[in-house]
């Protein structure tokens, strides 16, 4: 109790909490984009449920991993060496997750631009991907992003209560943002393509991190923000042109 009271009265602890919440929310954007794109392929009546389950599983998984934080830290220790390159369990998980993300995003891009494949994937108005398959894929990426998130949290603070609060707040933000983001992505096909491009970039970043090449997250998110701003201008231009065409002549 005294420990918690000391943390509550510590300005340093509050600063660490605020910083960690921002970091967790930013890291959660990657996960949220993937969840939105994947669940939008489900029948409409299952989309919201899949998003809630996927994000809830992310929260449960991160809290479970926090309870074994000492084990998570050990995942960064090298366990195998290949051609002079040492790999830890964390490295191998990041590489596997990155490869899966690149494969999945590339496959979705192919389906988006190939109408024949898209028609074959749809039977009776329902997409081929099943509810259980969607949850399984979300869970797989949740694991990758959760480990990356926990390792980041451990590097920023040693206080477990701060980590737990930051994770809970970040996941609640994801839960609130999931529905609006999914609807926005679904309503704007060009945004879907941009988001898939983001996922490929994130996947390549995970692979690079797994091979020991540190890619500053600031560069990645700056590129994503710039691309999103350009797309926002394109959307604004298209809508302005459409309104002009719809205005009656004379």
**6 located within any domain:** no
Least confident segment among 44-58, 109-123, 138-152, 222-236: 109-123
Domain-located, residue 138: yes
Task: Note whether residue 8 is domain-resident.
Answer: no
Tell me how many domains the chain contains.
1
| Domain, as residue range, for 89 | 14-246
Q: What is the pLDDT of residues 71-87, one digit of tens each?
A: 766 777 888 888 888 88
Note the pLDDT tens digit of each residue in 139-190. 888 888 777 777 767 666 667 777 788 888 888 888 888 888 888 877 777 7
Alpha carbons 49 and 46: distance in angstroms, whole number: 5
Read off the pTM. 0.68
Q: Is residue 3 part of a domain?
A: no
Whether residue 215 lies inside any domain: the answer is yes
Residue 120 in any domain: the answer is: yes
Phi/psi for 41 (5° steps) reads -85, -10
Q: Is residue 1 one of the residues assigned to a domain?
A: no
């Amino acid at each position: 109790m005294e420990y918690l009271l000391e943390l509550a009265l510590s300005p340093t602890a509050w600063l660490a909490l605020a910083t960690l919440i921002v970091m967790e929310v930013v890291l959660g954007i990657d996960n949220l984009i993937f969840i939105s794109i994947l669940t939008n392929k489900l029948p409409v009546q299952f989309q919201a449920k899949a998003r809630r389950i996927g994000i809830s599983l992310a929260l449960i998984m991160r809290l479970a991993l926090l309870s074994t934080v000492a084990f998570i830290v050990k995942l960064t220790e090298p366990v195998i060496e290949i051609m002079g390159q040492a790999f830890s369990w964390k490295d191998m998980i990041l590489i596997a997750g990155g490869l899966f993300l690149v494969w999945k995003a590339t496959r979705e891009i192919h389906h988006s631009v190939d109408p024949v494949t898209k028609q074959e994937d749809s039977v009776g108005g329902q997409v081929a991907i099943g509810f259980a398959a969607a949850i399984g894929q979300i869970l797989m990426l949740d694991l990758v992003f959760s480990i990356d998130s926990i390792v980041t949290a451990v590097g920023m603070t040693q206080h477990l209560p701060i980590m737990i609060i930051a994770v809970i707040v970040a996941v609640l933000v994801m839960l609130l943002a999931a529905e609006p983001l999914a609807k926005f992505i679904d309503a704007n096909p060009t945004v879907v393509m941009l988001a898939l491009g983001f996922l490929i970039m994130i996947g390549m970043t995970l692979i690079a991190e797994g091979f020991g090449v540190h890619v500053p997250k600031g560069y990645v998110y700056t590129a994503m923000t710039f691309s999103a701003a350009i797309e926002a201008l394109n959307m604004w231009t298209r809508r302005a042109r459409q309104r002009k065409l719809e205005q009656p002549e004379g």
